[in-house]
Structure 1
C-alpha cells in the first residue's frame, strides 16, 4: 500500500524567554493510505505540535514531511493552503464551528469554496449521515457538544480528504457521546477510504486504530505497534 504521510528526522523548538525549548526531536514515521493511526503520549509530549507540522500548519526547524507525495518544505503558505483544501481534513477538540452559520452552512462553506455546484445538497447528505438531518438549520449555540462535533466531522469529510487529522476529537465530550463520535470517524474512514490520524491521550481510543506511535518528552518511545 502507498505511503500517504512520510515524516523524516523532524525537529522543532520554541523560544521560552532566553531558552530554546526542544518540543520534538528526531521524529520519523510513515502512514499508509486508508490506515488508521494514533499518536499518543502524556500532556506536553509534543503530540499537537507534531500534528500541526504534519498538516502543514507550522514549519519544522529541520526534517522533511510529505503528504500524498508532495513535500511540504518548499511550499509557501498559499501553496500549503491549497494542498490542505484539496487533500486534508481536520477535527479539533473544540469543534471550531463558525457561530454565525447554521450546521448546514458550516458544512456547505468548504464545498462552496471548492466550487461544488450542489454544496447545500452534499452538505445535507453528510449531516444526515452523521445523524443530524433534523438539525440542519440550528446554530452551534443551539446544539449540544456531541452534535457540534458531529457537524465538525461532517465538515471535515466534506471535501473527501485523502487524510484526516483529528486532535483529541472526543476530549470535550462525555464517554457515551465520545464513543458515538469515534464510531462516526471510523465508519467514514472505511466508507470514503480516508486515512485517519488521531492525536489522543485516550488509550482506549488509540487501541481502535491499526497502529500507534508513542511520544514522550518530544521523542518517539515506540512506533508501528499493531493496535488491533
Structure 2
C-alpha cells in the first residue's frame, strides 16, 4: 500500500511568556491511500494541532511530514498552500462557510480556484447528493447547523481531493443531525475513494474508521484497528 501521509518523530511546542508548552512529542504514524483514519484523545491532547501540521496549515518544530509524496518541511507557506489547493479537502467543526456566498457559491470556490470546467454543474450535483438541491441559493445564516455542515461536505469533495481532513465534524451538531452528517461523509468518501483523516473525541465516530490513533498528553498512547473490524 502507498503511504499518502507519513509522520516521523514529530514535535511541536508553543511559548507562552517564559514558559514553553510542549504540545506534541515524538509522534510517529502513517496513513495509506484510500484509508480511513481517526485521531482521538481528551481535550488538550494535541489532536487539532496534529491535524493542522499534517495538513500543512502550520510548521513543526522537529520531525518530518510527507503528504502526497511531498515533504512539507521543504516547502514555504505559498508552496504548502498550492499543495492544499490541489490535493487536500477540509471539514471543520464550525463549518467555515463564507457568509456572503450562497450554498452553491461556497461549494464551487475550490473549483474556481482550480479553474475547473462547469463548476456550477459539479456544485449542483454535490448539493443534490447531500440533500440540499432546494437550498442552493440560501446563505449560511439561512441554514441550520446540519445544513451548513452538509454544504461544507459538498465543498470538501468538490475538488476531488486526494486526502480529506475533518476536525470534529459533528462537534457543533446534535446527535441525530451528527449521525446523518457522518453517514453522508462516509458515503461520499467511499464513492470518491478519498483518504479520510478525522480528529474526534467521539469513539463511535472513530470506530467507523479503519484505524485509530490515540493521543494523550501530546504523545501516542496507542494505535490500533478500530473496534468495528
Under a length normalisation based on structure 1, what TM-score does the superposition of the two structures give?
0.99
Contact 1:156 1:164 in 2 (8 A): yes
Report how far residue 226 of structure 1 moved. 3.5
Structure 1 stretches lacking a partner, 5+ long: none
CA deviations 1:9-30 (Å, max 9, x no partner) are: 0000000110110000000000
How far apart are the structure 1 equivalents of 2:31 and 2:109?
Answer: 29
Report how far residue 68 of structure 1 moved. 1.2
Q: How many residues align?
A: 228
Moved beyond 2 Å, runs of 4+: 224-228
Corresponding residue of 1:29 = 29
How far apart are the structure 1 equivalents of 2:86 and 2:119?
Answer: 15
Please report the RMSD computed on the Cα atoms of aligned residues, expressed in angstroms. Answer: 0.7
Corresponding residue of 1:211 = 211
Contact 2:208 2:226 in 1 (8 A): no
Under a length normalisation based on structure 2, what TM-score does the superposition of the two structures give?
0.98
How far apart are the structure 2 equivalents of 1:88 and 1:112?
Answer: 15
Listed as ranges, the matches of 1:29-178 within 5 Å are 29-178=29-178
Corresponding residue of 1:187 = 187
How far apart are the structure 1 equivalents of 2:226 and 2:148?
Answer: 31
CA deviations 1:23-49 (Å, max 9, x no partner) are: 000000000011110000000000000
Structure 2 stretches lacking a partner, 5+ long: none
**Secondary structure in 1 matching 2:225:** strand
